[in-house]
Structure 1
Amino acid sequence: YGGQRHRSNYGARVVNAFDKRCFIAASPLLGSTNTRGEFWTLLANNLIASGQNDNVILAPLAYSGSEVARWAAGGDFNPVLVDTVKKLQDSGYRITNVLWVQGEADLVIGTPAEAYQERFMSMVDTLRQHGVDAPVYIST
């Protein structure tokens, strides 16, 4: 989450997909666990303004303070990831990009780099096993 709230500058060209429905994007996005602002809607506005995209569908999975192990196979958030992918696919959407912004909790608890990489790749493998061949971009 972030301090600034944003909303679509392009109406239904920037939407928030949630539970097989779409809503015009506005902070806080559905699918997150916080009520503050976020930067995804701003990113979507900028992608459209730049001409890189005609439409942007945001499907956030945001669980503040989560460790990467919770997203890996066997973790409690892995089924949430799978369910979200299935809902998007069932709605006729193809996932074209995955943006990964996570790691603060792992830094605090001292997750070793090798363990982080293994768990991250397990999450990516979950995506691949469920038909998501989109690139995964990692925020640093």
Structure 2
Amino acid sequence: MANSIEKTTQDLSHDDVLQGKNIVVLAGQSNMSGRGGVINDTWDGFVPPECHQNSSILRLSAGLTWEEAMEPLHRDIDVVRTCGVGPGMAFANSVLEKDPSFGVIGLVPCAVGGTNISEWRRGSVLYNQLIRRANAALQGGGVIRALLWYQGESDTVIHKDAELYKRRLMKFFDDVRSDLMSPILPVIQVALASGKGPYKEIVRKAQLETNLQNVKCVDAKGLPLEPDGLHLTTLAQVELGKMLADAFLQNVPLPVRSNAPKRFNNFFLDLLGIPFR
């Protein structure tokens, strides 16, 4: 498996840069995997300029090979429903626009639509897939810079799920950090713009009040929704991607934001005591 990843990165002829690629894991449910432009399970194919391809933005495929990223990012991961535009490409393009020295970004799609937080518990299929893909992304070099997380719509249906959401969410973040051996891995989560049930505000409160170190929250409330009232529109996904990029760049440790020290990993950042503020 590792050999196939290494071969693919070599084929991209960016060896030196790829060894220092900045890996960002995308996880959660449908608004992370992307339903922008999807109406009646058909994607309109519109890709806004903020989501354009860029040779400095890569994507880890379902087959664990690196390729140039393009929409829909989750097309071979969230396979039950049609994927459209999500926040990932707008996020990566915005990061590179605002900090051209940042280097190659490697996106790792892991989101699956319709999933609740219990389905992401440690040992579950989704959790194991996330950890497997994140570790595979590290083969051939690079550092996991952050987890972007947008999930919770499915937990607004049953009151008990909404009430338990904060505890389950914090356990999930702790477990991911532990299993990736990155105890202060930056996490940027999204507070819900919509929900499947009547308990959206309980889940939103849990998200906005998550008090773990290096866990930041951006609020999607008020962003335009598709006619289904659940999924963000394409332009809303672009706006969310920019919001995520701003939160990321405002909080990323300064030594990561230049070319020379880019190969520092989270282990060394931890040793140096550099916080993700």
Preserved contact between residue 108 and residue 134 of structure 2 (Cα < 8 Å): no
Is residue 48 of structure 1 aligned with residue 103 of structure 2? no
SS in 1 for 2:59: strand
Q: Name the CA distance, whole Å, in 2 between partners of 1:98 and 1:47.
A: 15
Equivalent pair of 1:96/1:135 in contact (CA under 8 Å): yes
After superposition, residues 2-81 of structure 1 pair within 5 angstroms as 2-3=36-37, 5=47, 6-8=51-53, 10=54, 12-18=55-61, 19-30=63-74, 32-33=77-78, 34-51=82-99, 53-81=102-130
Larger radius of gyration: 2
Residue 64 of structure 1 and its aligned partner are, at CA, apart by 0.4
Query: 1:46 offset after TM fit, Å?
Result: 0.9
Q: 1:23 to 1:7 in 2, by over 3 A?
A: farther
8 Å CA contact 1:82–1:126 kept in 2: the answer is: no
AA matched with 1:137: I
* Cα shift readout 1:65-92 (whole Å, capped 9, x = no counterpart): 1101111124331111221122122342
Matched, 1:103 2:152: yes
C-alpha contact 1:71 1:81 (8 A) present in aligned 2: no
Question: Could you state the TM-score of these two structures normalised by the residue count of structure 1?
Answer: 0.84
Shift in Å, 1:119: 1.6
Return 5+ residue gaps in structure 1 as ranges.
none
- Number of aligned residue pairs: give it: 137
Question: In structure 1, what is the equivalent of residue 190 of structure 2?
Answer: 139
RMSD of equivalent CA atoms: 2.0
- Distance change >3 Å, CA 74–CA 119, structure 1 → 2: farther
**CA apart distance, 1:20:** 3.3
Q: Which has the higher helix share?
A: 2
* Secondary structure of 2:90's aligned partner: helix
Retained in 2: the 8 A contact 1:68–1:116? yes
Q: Which residue of 1 aligns with 2:175?
A: 126
In structure 1, distance between residues paired with 2:175 and 2:134: 10
2:99 partner amino acid: G
1:55/1:90 Cα in 2 relative to 1: closer, same or farther (>3 Å)?
closer
Q: Secondary structure at the match of 1:65?
A: coil
Percentage of identical aligned residues: 23
Q: 2:140 & 2:126 partners in 1: Cα distance? A: 21
1:17-36 alpha-carbon deviations (Å, 9 max, x no partner): 23432111111114531431
**Residue of structure 1 equivalent to 2:225:** none
TM-score norm. by structure 2 comes to: 0.45
**Does the 8 Å CA contact 1:20/1:91 hold for their aligned counterparts?**
no
Separation in 2, partners of 1:139, 1:64: 15
Question: Which consecutive residues of structure 2, in runs of 5 or more, have no partner in the other structure?
Answer: 1-33, 38-45, 192-277
